[in-house]
Amino acid sequence: MHNYSTCNLFQADIECRRIRDAIKIYNMTNKKRVHQQLYFWLLLAIVAGGLCGYFAPDFATKLQPIYQGFIKLIKAFIAPVIFCSIISGFVSGLDHFGDKPKIGMLSLKTIVYFEVMAFISLLLGIFAADILKPGVGLNIDPRILDTSINDKIISPVADAKFDIVDFLLHIIPDSVVGAFVNNNFLQVLLVAVLFGIALNALGKKAKPLSDIIVITNHTLFKLIKMIVKLAPIAAFGSVAFTIGKYGVAVFANLFGMILALYLTSAFFILIILGGICWLYGINYIRFIKYIGPDILLVFSASSSEVGLPSLIKKLEDLGCTEKTTSIVVSSGYSFNLDGTNIYITMAVLFLAQALNIDLSWYDKLILFSIAMITGKGAAGVTGSGFITLASTLTLFPIIPLSGLALILAIDQLASICRAITNYIGNGVAVLIVSIWTKEIDGKKINQALASIEAD
C-alpha cells in the first residue's frame, strides 16, 4: 500500500511538472511580438518624425494639429476619469477605507510626501545650476534681448500677483460643471471627494448610482485604451513639428542649459526616486519598464497629462486602491511637479549666470521660498512650466523679465524633460503613499510586477 501511494505521488508530481511546463510554453508563445507592442511603433514614429522634420521642415511645420488634436482628445476625458476613479475608490472601499479619519490621514500623508519631494527637487535644481554652471560665459546684455514676447506672456503674468488666498479660493469651483469644462484637476478632485463622502453617507441607497459610476469608470478606461492606439501618429506629428519649426542648430547656443536640465532630471529619476523605491523594497527598474510605453507617449506629446489615465490603471493593477491612486495622481499634477521644480530653479540661476548677475546664498534662499509657492498649481500640459517660471520671476525681480526670451527658445525641449520627470514622480508618489497607508508593501508590488511581466 505504501509503495502504491508513493508511486501515485511520483506520477502526480510528474503530471504537475508537465502542466507547469505547458503553461510556460503557452505564455512564451502568446507573448506579443515586438511589432505588436505600442512602444515599438512609438519609437519608430519618433525616428520618422525627426527625419521628416530635418529633411522636410516646411511640410513638418504643418503637422502640429495632429498631436494637438490627440492631446485635446485625451484631455476631453481626463476630468471624468478623475471623478469616476475617485468615486469608484470610495464605493469599493467602504468596508476598510470609508471613514473620514482615514481619508484625512491619506490626505495628510500625501501632502507630506509632496512637500518633501518639492524641497528636494528645488534644492537639487539650485545645486545643479551652481555645479554645472550652464549660463556662465554667455555674457548676454539684457538690453539686446528680444522683448516681443512681453505683451503676449510676460506682461500678463507680471500684472497677476500670486496670492495664497486667491489660490485656495480658486480650488472651489464657481460651478460643478465649470470644474469639468475647465479641466481643473483640483476642483474636480474636491467635487469628487465631497460626492464620494455623500455616497458613503447614503449607504445602500446609493448602490444603483454607485454601480453606474463604476461601470462608467471601466468604460472610460477602455475608451482611453482605444485612443492611445493613435499615439504613434501623434508622436510623429509632434517630433516632426518640433524639429521642423526650431531645427537642430537653433538649440546649439543654449545646449548647455538643456544638457544640464536633462542630466539633473536623470539624476533625480534614477538616484532620488530610485533610492526611495529601493528604501521601500520596490524593484524600480522593473517599475520603469512597466510604465515605459507611457513614458514614450509622454515624451512624444511633451505633456504628462496624456499619460494620466493609463498611469491610474497600471497602479491599480499593482494593487494600489482606486481611491489612493486617483487622489494622489490627480492632486500630484498640481502639487507634485518635481520636473517643473527642478526647471524653475535651474532656469533662474541660468539666467543669472547668462546675464552676469551674482546671486548670494540669501538670494537663493529667497528664490527657493518663492518657488515652493509658485510651483504649486501648474498643470501638466505643454508650456505651463514656462508660465510658472514667469510667475516666479515677477516675485524675484533681481532677474529681469526680458531674460525669458532666452528660455522661450528652448522651452519645447525643456517641456519634454519636465513632463517625463513629473510623470514618473507621480507614479512613485502613489506607490510610497500606498505603502505609508499600509494598503500594500514592496514585496506585493514586486510580485505584481513580476506577474504582469510574465504575462
pLDDT single digits (tens) 353-404: 888 888 888 888 888 887 887 666 554 444 556 666 766 776 677 887 767 6
pLDDT of residue 391: 66
Q: Please, which pLDDT band fits residue 69 given cuts at 50, 70 and 90?
A: confident
Q: Please, which pLDDT band fits residue 211 given cuts at 50, 70 and 90?
A: confident
What CATH number has the domain bearing residue 324?
A: 1.10.3860.10
pLDDT of residue 121: 92
Whether residue 75 contacts residue 183, with contact meaning beta carbons closer than 8 Å, is answered with: yes
**Is 86 inside any structural domain?**
no
Q: Has residue 120 got a pLDDT over 90?
A: yes
**Is 219 inside any structural domain?**
no
Global pTM reads 0.67
Which range marks the domain in which residue 261 is found?
Answer: 99-176+248-454
Kindly state the average pLDDT of the residues 276-287: 92
State residue 373 phi and psi, 5-degree precision.
Answer: -95, -50
Whether residue 265 contacts residue 420, with contact meaning beta carbons closer than 8 Å, is answered with: yes
Of residues 337 and 301, the one with the higher pLDDT is 337
pLDDT of residue 385: 66
Q: Which of 54-63, 123-132, 258-267, 391-400 has the lowest mean pLDDT?
A: 391-400
Closest CA to 261 of 384, 420, 368, 149: 420
**Is 73 inside any structural domain?**
no
Whether residue 315 contacts residue 431, with contact meaning beta carbons closer than 8 Å, is answered with: yes
pLDDT single digits (tens) 325-360: 877 887 777 678 888 889 989 988 988 888 888 888
Q: Has residue 74 got a pLDDT over 80?
A: no
Q: Please, which pLDDT band fits residue 10 given cuts at 50, 70 and 90?
A: very low
Q: Please, which pLDDT band fits residue 87 given cuts at 50, 70 and 90?
A: confident
pLDDT of residue 29: 38
Q: Has residue 25 got a pLDDT over 60?
A: no
**Is 374 inside any structural domain?**
yes
Split into its structural domains, the chain has a count of: 1
Q: Which of 36-40, 148-152, 178-182 has the lowest mean pLDDT?
A: 148-152
Average pLDDT, the chain: 75
Closest CA to 239 of 53, 412, 419, 383: 53
Q: Has residue 143 got a pLDDT over 70?
A: no
**Is 373 inside any structural domain?**
yes
Closest CA to 448 of 320, 347, 348: 320
Rounded distance, CA 68 to CA 66, Å?
6
Q: Has residue 213 got a pLDDT over 60?
A: yes
Rounded (10°) CA dihedral 287, 290, 294, 298: 30
**Is 271 inside any structural domain?**
yes
Q: Has residue 132 got a pLDDT over 80?
A: yes
pLDDT single digits (tens) 30-51: 445 655 566 677 678 878 888 8
pLDDT of residue 387: 64
**Is 385 inside any structural domain?**
yes
Q: Has residue 145 got a pLDDT over 80?
A: no
Kindly state the average pLDDT of the residues 9-27: 44
Q: Please, which pLDDT band fits residue 94 given cuts at 50, 70 and 90?
A: very low
Kindly state the average pLDDT of the residues 10-38: 47
Of the CA atoms within 13 Å of residue 334, those in its CB half-sphere come to 16
**Is 313 inside any structural domain?**
yes
Q: Which three cell numbers stand for residue 58?
A: 516646411
